[in-house]
Structure 1
Amino acid sequence: METLKISLPIAIMLETLRDNGVTDEQIITQIDKKDVSPWQKVDTTFDFQELINLSTNSEFESILTNGYSVKFMTINGLKNLLRLKFNKIQDQDYQQNEKGITDLILTEQELSTLRQMLSKNCVLHVGNKISIDFY
């Protein structure tokens, strides 16, 4: 089964909710109610209504349970997702260079998740440490 593609802002919204302790079941419940008001305290800058709009796609639950890939990744988007999803911080857990990032260490499960999330404009290099180049 091919991974469903979502926009970077949607991915960051979902991972922000998860990082703040909101479970996938709670996301589904609130989306079914069409009530995103509890999430406004998590981040006031997000338009969580976009998640309701996305939920009209019958594959929304699959995005939550089976994962997703980002349609187009940016370096700042990747850094945000690494922080939210894997608790990885620049200059502590990896380095940024002119091409992307280097010196990242992930578990096999984290690597599998990251591999799924990356968009086509990213090239993943796996060795002792992971690097990701942007094109």
Structure 2
Amino acid sequence: METIKISLPTAFMLETLRANGVTDEQILKQINKKDVSPWQKIDTTFDFQELVNLATNSEKDFESIITDGYSVKFMTINGLKNLLRLKFNKIQDQDYQQTEKGITDLILTEQELATIKQMLSKNCILHVYGNKISIDFY
């Protein structure tokens, strides 16, 4: 089954909620209630109503995004760095190095690697060298 593609800002909203302790079950519950008010204090820059709109368009797709994961429609280097920080607590110059083409020397668990493979957009190429990963953009 192919994963649902979402925008980078939508991915940031979901991963920000998760990074702040909001569970997938809580996300689904609040979205079903169409009440995102509890999340406004987590990050005031996001319009979490966009998640409600996404779920309204296709409840089944939204549930799949939450439970099965997603891929990003178009990834940027800064977008990748932010997702690595939010989702895996990986920090540039500590856990990986930025290069001219992308990032290198990233170490992930098998589960994290499977997740990042799923999340990356078509403009990214993932390379695995032993236990180190690099991701190039084109």
Shorter chain as denominator, the TM-score bin is over 0.9
TM-score with structure 1 setting the length: 0.98
Residue 30 of structure 1: CA displacement?
Answer: 0.7
The separation in 1 between residues aligned to 2:35 and 2:68, in whole angstroms, is: 23
| CA distance in structure 1 between the partners assigned to 2:129 and 2:110 by the alignment | 12
**In 1, Cα distance between equivalents of 2:2 and 2:135:** 22
Residues 1:22 and 2:22 aligned together = yes
> Match of 2:21, as an amino acid?
G
Q: Is 1:71–2:68 an aligned residue pair?
A: no
1:41 partner SS: coil
**Matches of 1:31 and 1:66, distance apart in 2:** 17
**Which of the numbers 85, 105, 108 marks the counterpart of 1:106?**
108
C-alpha separation in 2, matches of 1:61 and 1:13: 15
Partner in structure 1 of residue 137 of structure 2: 134
Query: Which residue in the other structure is 1:12 paired with?
Result: 12
Q: Distance in 1 between matches of 2:129 and 2:98?
A: 17
Aligned to 1:115: 117
* Aligned positions of 1:31-70 closer than 5 A: 31-56=31-56, 57-58=58-59, 59-70=61-72
* 1:30-85: CA deviation from partner (whole Å, max 9, x where unpaired): 11111111001100000001000000113101100000000000001100100011
Report the 3-state secondary structure (helix = DSSP H, G, I; strand = E; otherwise coil) of the residue aligned with 1:69.
strand
AA aligned to 1:104 is L
Tell me the SS of whatever aligns to 1:88: coil
Using the alignment, how far apart are the partners of 1:22 and 1:44 within structure 2? Answer: 16
Q: Separation in 1 of the partners of 2:76 and 2:42?
A: 23
Q: Any unmatched runs of 5+ in structure 2? A: none
Give 2:65's aligned amino acid. Answer: I
- Alignment match of 2:98 (pick from 62, 81, 96): 96
What's the % identity of the aligned pairs? 84
Q: CA deviation at 1:14?
A: 0.1
**In 2, Cα distance between the equivalents of 1:81 and 1:118?**
10
